[in-house]
Structure 1
Amino acid sequence: MPDQGFALAPRLRYLVGRARRIDVGSVFERAREASRDHGKWTPLVVVDMLWQAGFRNVGFQDYIDYDFSILNRAERATYMTHPVSNQISQKYDHPDYRHIFQDKVEFDGVFSEHLHRDWMVVTADNADDVRAFAERLGTIVTKEPVGQAGTGVHRYHAAEVEDWAQFHRGLWERGELLIEEVIAQHPDLAAVCPGTVNTTRVTAFFDGQRTHILAMAQKFGRGAVSDQMTFGGFYTMLDEAGRAVGPGYDSHGHVHETHPDSGFRIADFQLPLMDDVRAFVDRVARVVPQVQYVGWDIVVTADGPVLVEGNWGAGVYENKPSVTGIRTGHKPRYQAAIGF
């Protein structure tokens, strides 16, 4: 079992950094949102938000996303938050190995056998190779090596390219250096949104012997190249069996009982091949054991799970009480596995 607790100095540095970056206007905007949604007095919400941020490690967006204004102290204590997640990352993700997860090209190289799809790298002089790769696959996805929240991800159809030299030059100049085959997702995922490859975020901790799955969130897109919220996507939390615990939601106040495009009832979703998912996450967690706390993005296909990427700064996906009716979060599972 890992050492108990987190070092005080990194936590203090984090809090000082947050205090310096605080956007007072944003705090009031979020407080008004909570006031509107839950009938709370705005000044009281502001004070509570600041107290929770300063003394309970609760981010301002955490406070809104997880409906803290309607939860009591005991219920709030069950929620994982971004400041705590950051502390775990800083302690258990070795800085000498984080670069593997930050650079998508390097990541694909290290985790190649777990991708289960073709990929290549754009260089200054391989326009013919790019053309051959794209024409063979028909549709390709390109990625900038460093990006987050779906930024720097693009989708192209070979049939629409008229000038391959110009296309290649554009990729090179824009820094879209990684090209990948499009993943063919499982029919159960395609039934919800066929136009986007819908990823499952599995947050896990590898203790050196065992891989602990801490939380699972199923993300759904809206037909764009990415299922991230910046592309209109949303998510629902999954239970240990891979079943949705309620409707979908995002950080912008949108709730989806059904998928807006397909009409699929989100609460009816069941992630297929859960036994395979557990085994797969255990395998990938052992590839770089020095990075113990990772948010793995996977896609379940008809042949089993495939890896999209790993996030050493795992972030947090949690239950939203006003949507699901469930007033507890996943923090006890984190504490049991990590020991803080």
Structure 2
Amino acid sequence: MPSQGLGLAPRLRYLAGRARRIDVGSVLERAKEASAQHDKWTPAVVVDMLWSAGFRQVGFQDYIDYDFAILSSAERATFMTHPVSNELSQKYDHPDHRHVFQDKVEFDRVFSEHLHREWMVVEDGNAVAVHEFAQRHGTIVTKEPVGQAGTGVHRYHAAEIDDWDAFHRGLLQRGELLIEEVIVQHPDLAAVCPGTVNTTRVTAFFDGEMTHILAMAQKFGRGAVSDQMTFGGFYTMLDESGHAVGAGYDSHGHVHETHPDSGFRIADFQLPMIDEVRAFVDRVARVVPQVQYVGWDIVVTPTGPVLVEGNWGAGVYENKPSVTGIRTGHKPRYREAIGF
């Protein structure tokens, strides 16, 4: 695909916005963190972080997460960053169709055949239906239609609910309007963390003909309803065959050679059914082709992949050199597929 560029105007708007919102204290804290971890002089790190943000589109957290303090300019250039990802989202995800991905109820309606689980919407007057749904499945997950990073997701056990009218009113009042059946994950995922449904983030680009898988990350939870970092979760990058490239890590400086609860060695993880995963991502990418750049969250079950959600603002999952020993990222793959 020929280079189409991302445009100067969006970049300037982004830089202006960052300049207005810059939190000097936060930058200093991050710089001290990098300085302590990599034995670098803090003032030099601060200058490097600001220069990287202003001239190389590197977010402050990107700088920390991907160990830029120890990388050469050539190595840094191979890493995907959040500012660049944001530009891709703005350019390739049509605004008229983003609402499908922003509203979880609308998303379930549009992608219903790819969910492979039962779901319903909480409305006035359907307390009996909610009761029947929960009793049928035993445990349910509720979601607020708009949320991110796992916020607004809750888990309830039918056996613990006594007053179903009150429960129904509470769901309405709190805005927990979407109810879903709990996903049963593949035993290979449950072996790492059985208490959380562990999702695979597949970042992909649909060019109108082909779906290009740009990066894959395996997220692991800690027994909570979500595997997001806000719930104590972490991730590891996967190679093209679906195998972990190293230990797990998060954006809070935690590294997990093994899962803290199960003891499973993260570097040994192999995503099951990787061929089915690739084919599945290709199918879901074609449902709303106007939204081309998406971070798909899927779960592999005993019978195949199922869809959790799609993120039109795909975000970035990347390699961490100090953990994996790999000093390059995924940006060349993005460039080859998208042509920027």
1:139 equivalenced with 2:139 (yes/no): yes
Match of 1:172 in 2: 172
Correspondence list, 1:260-299, <5 A? 260-299=260-299
The residue correspondences of 1:56-67 to structure 2 (distance < 5 A) are 56-67=56-67
SS at 1:154 equivalent: strand
What is the alpha-carbon distance in structure 1 between the residues aligned to residue 3 and residue 299 of structure 2? 33
1:321 equivalent in structure 2: 321
Unaligned 5+ runs, structure 1: none
What is the aligned partner in structure 2 of residue 221 from structure 1? 221
Tell me what 2:98 maps to: 98
Measured in 1, the distance between the counterparts of 2:127 and 2:183 equals: 23
Aligned-pair RMSD on alpha carbons? 0.6
Q: Does 1:129 align with 2:132?
A: no
| SS of corresponding position for 1:289 | coil
Equivalent AA in structure 1 for residue 56 of structure 2: R
- CA deviation after TM superposition for structure 1 residue 11, in Å: 1.3
What is the TM-score with the length of structure 1 in the denominator? Answer: 0.99
- Asked whether the 8 Å contact 1:2–1:207 carries over to 2, the reply is no
SS in 1 for 2:131: helix
Q: Take 1:112 and 1:321, find their aligned partners in 2: how far apart are those partners? A: 39
Deviation at 1:3, TM superposition (A): 5.1
Task: Give the corresponding residue for 2:243.
Answer: 243
Deviations 1:99-136 (A, max 9, x none): 00000000000000000000000001100000000000
User: 1:211 & 1:323 partners in 2: Cα distance?
Assistant: 30
The separation in 1 between residues aligned to 2:47 and 2:219, in whole angstroms, is: 33
In the alignment, the residues of structure 2 paired with residue 24 and residue 33 of structure 1 have an alpha-carbon distance, to the nearest angstrom, of: 14
In structure 2, what is the Cα distance between the partners aligned to 1:32 and 1:316?
23
1:14 aligned partner: 14
AA at the equivalent of 2:7: A
What CA deviation, in whole Å up to 9, does each residue of 1:138-196 have, x standing for no partner? Answer: 00000000000000000000000010000000000000000000000000000000000
Identity between Structure 1 and Structure 2 (%)? 85
1:279-319 per-residue CA deviation (whole Å, 9 max, x = no partner) reads 00000000000000000000000100000000000000000
The amino acid across from 2:162 in the alignment is E
Letter in 1 for 2:132: A
Query: Which deviates further from its counterpart, 10-19 or 237-246?
Result: 10-19
CA distance in 1, matches of 2:63, 2:90: 22
Q: CA deviation at 1:323?
A: 0.3
- Alignment map for 1:301-320 (pairs within 5 Å): 301-320=301-320
User: Which ranges of 4 or more aligned residues in structure 1 deviate by more than 6 Å?
Assistant: none
Partner of 1:85: 85
1:202–1:215 contact (8 Å) kept in structure 2 = yes
Task: Tell me how far apart the structure 1 counterparts of residues 288 and 45 of structure 2 sit (CA, whole Å).
Answer: 42
- Secondary structure in 1 matching 2:195: coil
Gaps of 5+ in 2: none
CA distance in 1, matches of 2:177, 2:105: 8
* Distance in 2 separating the partners of 1:67 and 1:11: 23
Distance 1:31 1:291 in 2: 36
| TM-score, normalised with respect to structure 2 | 0.99
Within 5 Å, give how 1:18-97 maps onto structure 2.
Answer: 18-97=18-97
Partner of 2:111: 111
1:6 to 1:19, Cα distance in 2 relative to 1, 3 A: same
Q: In structure 2, do the counterparts of structure 1 residues 274 and 198 end up closer, same or farther at CA, with 3 Å as the change threshold?
A: same
Aligned amino acid, residue 55 of structure 1: F
